Amino acid sequence: MLIPILIALLVAFASMQLSSLCTTIYLHRAMAHKGLQLHPAVAMLMRVEIWLFTGISMREWVAVHRKHHHFTDEEGDPHSPYLKGLMKVLLLNAMYYAQEARKPEVVAKYTQDIPRTRTEAVLSQGWIGLGIMLAAFMYGFHLLAGGWAGPVLGAATFVVQGAGYIFSSAVINGICHCVGYRNFNNTATNLRSVAWLTGGEGLHNNHHQYPASSKFSMRKWEIDPAWPVIQVLTKLHLAQPLPLPQQG
Ligand SMILES: [Zn+2]
Ligand SMILES: [Zn+2]
C-alpha cells in the first residue's frame, strides 16, 4: 500500500499545480485582466480542467476577483484580511468567495464584457465536473490498488488536491496582503515561496501594481512559474500577451 499512497501524494500535488496554472493563466491573467489572449483550444482545455478539478464558474470567479481589485482592502473587498482578519480569510476564504459569487448583481456588473455562451453555462455546473473527476480518481486508484482501499484512496486524493487548491487561494488572498516584501506602494505583498507553489500568484504586490501584465515577476530574483508556460504558448502561436509594462 506504500507505493499507491506515494503515487496518491504525487497525483494530488500535480493536480493542484495544474489547477493553479490553469487558474492563473486562464481565469486570472486572460479572462479577469485581459493581459493575454489564448488560442480558443488552449482556453477550452484550461476551462475544462478548472471545471473538472475545482468546479469554479468562470464568470463568478472573474466578477469576485475584479471586485477585489476595485475595492482592494477597503469596504467592498470580498476577502480583505484588513477588514475580516487574517485568520478568518485563511480559514473561510472559500466561504467569502461563495457569498460574493452568489450575488447575481455583482456577477452581472463585473462581467459585462464577457459574452454569455452555452458552453460556459454548461461548464458553470461545477458539481457535475467535480463528480466526473471524483469518479475518475476512484476508478483510477481502483485499478492501481484494487479492493475497497483503491477507490477510498482515490476519493481521498481528490479531496486533498481540492483542499490544497482552496488553501493556496486563501494564502494568496490573506497572507499575500499582509506578510512579505513590497516592490510597489500598494497593500498587497510578494512571497517568493508562495509564488513557486501557486503559478506565480504569490508575487501579488507586483500584480496589484500592474494587473494587466501577463508576467508577474518584476525583479531578477523573482520566479513566476506561469511565465515560461505563457512564453512557450506564445512561441507556438497559442497565446498573445499584451506588451509588458516598463518598470524600474
Ligand atoms: Zn489581492
Ligand atoms: Zn488580479
Domain spans of the chain, in order of start: 2-241
Helix, strand, coil distribution of the chain in percent, nearest 5: 65, 5, 30
CA of 42 to the centre of ligand 1 (A): 26
Name the strand (E) or helix (H) holding 70.
helix 58-70
pLDDT tens digits, one per residue of 60-78: 999 999 999 999 999 999 9
Q: Is the confidence at residue 243, as pLDDT, over 90?
A: no
Q: Is the confidence at residue 146, as pLDDT, over 90?
A: no
CA distances from 84 to 68, 92, 175 (A): 13, 10, 13
149 or 246, higher pLDDT: 149
Q: Are 187 and 73 in contact (CB under 8 A)?
A: yes
- Helix, strand or coil for residue 204? helix
Q: Whose atoms come closest to the Cα of 27: which ligand? A: 2
Residues around ligand 1, an ion, CB closer than 5 A: 188
Query: Residue with C-alpha cell 478539478?
Result: 53
Q: Is the confidence at residue 52, as pLDDT, over 70?
A: yes
Which pLDDT score is estimated for 247?
A: 60
pLDDT band at 147 (very low <50, low <70, confident <90, very high): confident
Q: In terms of pTM, does the model score above 0.85?
A: yes
Which pLDDT score is estimated for 96?
A: 97
CA of 205 to the centre of ligand 2 (A): 10
Q: Are 30 and 36 in contact (CB under 8 A)?
A: yes
CA of 156 to the centre of ligand 2 (A): 31
pLDDT tens digits, one per residue of 18-44: 999 999 999 999 999 999 999 999 999
Q: Is the confidence at residue 135, as pLDDT, over 60?
A: yes
- Helix, strand or coil for residue 181? strand
Write 237-243 long-range contacts (CB < 8 A, 24+): 237/39, 238/38, 238/39, 238/41, 238/42, 239/36, 239/37, 239/38, 239/39, 239/42, 240/36, 240/37, 241/35, 241/36, 241/214, 241/215, 242/34, 242/35, 242/36, 242/212, 242/213, 242/214
Q: Whose atoms come closest to the Cα of 28: which ligand? A: 2
CA of 174 to the centre of ligand 2 (A): 14
CA of 149 to the centre of ligand 2 (A): 41
Quote the percentage of the chain above a pLDDT of 90. Answer: 94
CA of 238 to the centre of ligand 1 (A): 28
Count helices and strands in the chain by DSSP H and E runs: 12, 2
Phi, psi of 67 (to 5 degrees): -65, -35
Task: Name the residue among 91, 26, 11 with its Cα closest to residue 61.
Answer: 26
Which pLDDT score is estimated for 1?
A: 78
Question: Rounded to an integer, what distance in angstroms lies between the CA atom of residue 59 and that of residue 81?
Answer: 24
Mean pLDDT of 219-238: 97
What cell numbers appear for 245 in the block? 509594462
CA of 234 to the centre of ligand 1 (A): 26
CA of 141 to the centre of ligand 1 (A): 37
Paired with 38 in beta bridges are 239
Which pLDDT score is estimated for 245?
A: 84
pLDDT tens digits, one per residue of 159-207: 999 999 999 999 999 999 999 999 999 999 999 999 999 999 999 999 9
Q: Is the confidence at residue 248, as pLDDT, over 60?
A: no
CA of 16 to the centre of ligand 1 (A): 20
Mean pLDDT of 212-222: 96
CA of 30 to the centre of ligand 2 (A): 10
Mean pLDDT of 209-214: 96
CA of 26 to the centre of ligand 2 (A): 12
